[in-house]
Each structure stands twice: as structure tokens, then as C-alpha cells.
Amino acid sequence: MSTNLHPTFDKMLPREAKESLLGQRGLVIWLYGLSGSGKSTLAHLLERKLHDQEIFTKVLDGDNVRTGLNNNLGFSDEDRKENIRRVAEVAKLFADAGAVTITSFITPRNELRAIAREIIGDDDLLEVYVKASFETCAERDVKGLYAKAKAGEVKQFTGKDSAFEEPDHADLIIDTEAESESDSLEKLYVVVSGRVRLG
């Protein structure tokens, strides 16, 4: 770290003051899984359900972040790593401000999930594997990416050209092949609401 940097963390208003103002505890819900597994759908449904309960949230979605903050990154191993590192740092900032932050990123390798956990910390992270097989996601093909990958138009596609590792650790597994959308949402909401309410 440069000797010209002088962080002022000790002078900032403490996290507890932000959480007290909002009446909630900051938390990062890290949704990961194959493209088309249901991550973004769950993220947006959860955001609306929490908002209805007057819980302040922020969604960080993979495609959205890659059009802004991370628009200079590709899909090489190193770029994927940097993508996750940046997102984890941003999510940590939101959690420190008392926000319930819902992220939706493929995060295909255990190494990447470990990076996010190390940055955010065990106490502030809820790691959620949104599970669905490659075949099911290809059938859904919500964004048309599987068809493009099959035609060779998308390189380094996760699950085809680039591996997706089953998790070594997950705080919660949501199987969108076996559960309905409403059941998946309720399962996630129950766990999240139990962790973000003060008192």
C-alpha cells in the first residue's frame, strides 16, 4: 500500500449508528449459480419483498455491474477474479452502511467464493447457491446465451467452455428445478429476515 494514503476510518460515523437509523442490520446475500438458474429473478423478488417490509436494500447484478463499474473486464480467469473482488468490496461498503445487499453473480469457482467471503467476512455474508443443471438452464435460455454459446458466438461460457464448480460451502442451497419460484423466494426470505432485523 502506498505510504501516501491516509485512511480516515477511525473518524467515520460507526456502522452501528447507520444500522440504528435504518432499524436493520447490514448483510450481503451472495446468490451464485449458472446463467439461467434464477439468481437475478430471486434477487429482484427478494428486494421487493424486503422493501415491502421496510428493509432498505441494494441489488448488485452481474450484467448491470459489467456495463458500468466493471465494463473494462472480460471473462478470463483473471478478469473474473477482479470482477468478484470489486463487487465484494462494493457490497462490503453497502453492508457497512447498514444496507441489505443482494448480489447476483455466476461466481463459478470455489476460489472466487472464498475471495468474496474473505473480503466481506463470515458475519456479514449469506452465501446462497441457486442450483439448476446446465441442461435445465439451457432449456430456459432466458437471455439466449446458451443458443449463442452452442453456435460458438459466446466464448468462455460457464458450464460449457469454462467450468462451474459445485460449492465446497453454501449457507443455503435453493434448487430451482425442484422448488417453485414462490417456494424458493419464501425459503430465502425466511433466512434473510431472521438475520437483518435488529433486536
pLDDT in tens, 40-64: 999 999 999 999 999 999 999 988 8
Question: Does the 22-132+165-196 domain belong in CATH 3.40.50.300?
Answer: yes
Strand partners, 172: 128
Q: Look at residues 181, 171, 156 and name the one whose alpha carbon lies nearest to residue 38.
A: 181
Query: End-to-end alpha-carbon separation of the chain, Å?
Result: 39
What would the mean pLDDT of 189-198 be, rounded to a whole number? 93
Question: Running DSSP on this structure, what letter comes out for residue 12?
Answer: S
What would the mean pLDDT of 90-100 be, rounded to a whole number? 97
Look over the chain and give the mean of its residue pLDDT values, rounded to a whole number.
89
At residue 11 the predicted structure's pLDDT band, cuts being 50, 70 and 90, is confident
Answer whether 141's CB lies under 8 Å from 34's CB.
Answer: no
Q: Look at residues 130, 148, 106, 136 and name the one whose alpha carbon lies nearest to residue 185.
A: 130
Question: Running DSSP on this structure, what letter comes out for residue 197?
Answer: B
Strand partners, 29: 102, 126
pTM of the model: 0.88
Answer whether 89's CB lies under 8 Å from 119's CB.
Answer: yes
Q: How far apart are CA 131 and CA 117, in angstroms?
A: 19
What would the mean pLDDT of 17-25 be, rounded to a whole number? 95
Higher pLDDT, 11 or 150: 11
Check pLDDT > 90 for residue 163.
Answer: no
Sign, Cα dihedral of 77, 63, 110, 152: negative
